[in-house]
A = this chain, B = another copy of it.
Amino acid sequence: MATMQEVADRAGVSIATVSFLLNDTKPVAAATRARIEQAMADLGYRRNVVARALASRRTHIIAMAYPALEHKFGTSTAEFFTSAAEAAREDDYHLVLWPVGNDGVELRELLGQGLVDGVVLMEVQLDDARVGVLRETGTPFAMIGRTTELEGLTHVDIDFDTTVADAVQHLYDLGHRRLVLVSGDLDDPRFHAYGPWVRIGDAYRRIAAEHGLEIVVVECSDTTRAGHEAAAQILRDHARTTAVLVMNEFAALGVTAGLQRLGRDIPGDLSVLPLLMVPETAAMSNPELTIMRTPGPELGRLGTQSLIRHLEGADPLPPQLVPARLLPGESVGPPR
C-alpha cells in the first residue's frame, strides 16, 4: 500500500502539496496536480484518493449514538433528541440517530463509512467502549453524560447531586423522615455501570446520611410492571415509609399505580417524587405527579452545540451540569 510520502517523493513535491490536493484545502497548479496524480496512478494510490476525500469531506451531519436496544426510547429521550436536532439545524447541521449498541461494534462500522462529522454520545456508561472507538477513529464527539475518566472529553450532564439534594430537602422540609429510593436495577449487566443510576444511588446514600435518615434502596428495572412489584415490596418490607423517590420514568408510573392498587392514597398515605421525568409523563398519572423535571431540552441543545463548536474549531464550551428542577404536581404532600 503506497503512502502519501511515496507519492510525494515520486512526484517530486512536498507531502504538504499532496495533502492540499487530496483534501482540496489549497489550489495546486495543474502541472503539479498532473505529476501527483500520475504518481498516485503509478503507485496504485487511487482508492486512497477517494477514501481520503471521503474522510476529509465535511458532511455537516452529526449522529446521536443512542443504544436503543439497551435503553428505552421514551418521551424523555425524545426531548434530548428533538432539542439536539433543533440545535443542529440552527447551526446548519443535520442530526441523525444511530441506534447502535453500547459495545461500540456497530458504531465502529458506521464511523468507517465516513458519513458524519461527529457524534453526540447518549446514555454514557462509566467506562464506555464507545469512547474508545471514537478516539481510535479520530471522531470528534461530545457526551451527554460522563465517563469516570473525563480528561479532555467534551461533555454535559445532569447534575445528579443537586437534583437528589433538592428532592430530599423538599420531602424533609415537609416532614418526611422515612424515605425509600426506588433505583435502577444495577444487577442488570447492561446497566451496572450506567452513569445516572450509579450517580443517583451514590448521591442518595450520601445525602440521606447527611440528613440522618435511614438509607433504604429498592432496586427496580425501568418498567411499569417492575414498579408494581417495587410498590408491593415497599409496603411489605418498609411499611412505615412516607415518601418514595423513583429514579426511572416507567418505574415511577408503576410504583404509583401499584401503591394505589394496594389501597394506598397518594399523597395521603405516601408521597411519590420521580427524580427524572418530563411533564407529559407526569400528567399520565392520577394524581398528576410532582416531579424533578429532566433537563432534556437544555442538555440536548448544549451537547450538540458543544460538538459543533469543537467541529468548527471554536473555543470549547465548558462542561456543564444541569440539575433537574422541582415541578409541583399533586403526588407530594406532608406525611400523615
Contact = CB atoms under 8 A, between A and B. Distances in A.
Interface of A: 21, 24, 30, 33-34, 37-38, 40-42, 44, 46-47, 49-50, 53-54, 57, 59, 61, 63, 68-69, 72-75, 77-78, 81-82, 85-86, 89, 94-100, 106, 109-110, 113, 115, 223-225, 228, 250, 253-254, 256-257, 260-261, 280, 283-286, 288
A253 B46 contact: no
A113 B82 contact: no
A288 B100 CA distance: 32
Given A46-B33, A224-B283, A257-B286, A85 B72 contact: no
Interface of chain A, main secondary structure: helix
Number of chain copies forming the complex: 2
A61 B115 CA distance: 10
Contacts of A98: 94, 96-97
Contact of A253 (B37, B59, B78, B284): B284
B96 A280 contact: no
29 contacts: A30-B42, A33-B41, A37-B41, A46-B49, A49-B50, A50-B57, A53-B54, A61-B113, A68-B81, A68-B85, A72-B78, A73-B82, A74-B74, A74-B78, A82-B99, A85-B99, A94-B98, A94-B100, A94-B110, A96-B96, A97-B97, A115-B115, A228-B283, A254-B284, A257-B283, A257-B285, A260-B286, A261-B286, A286-B286
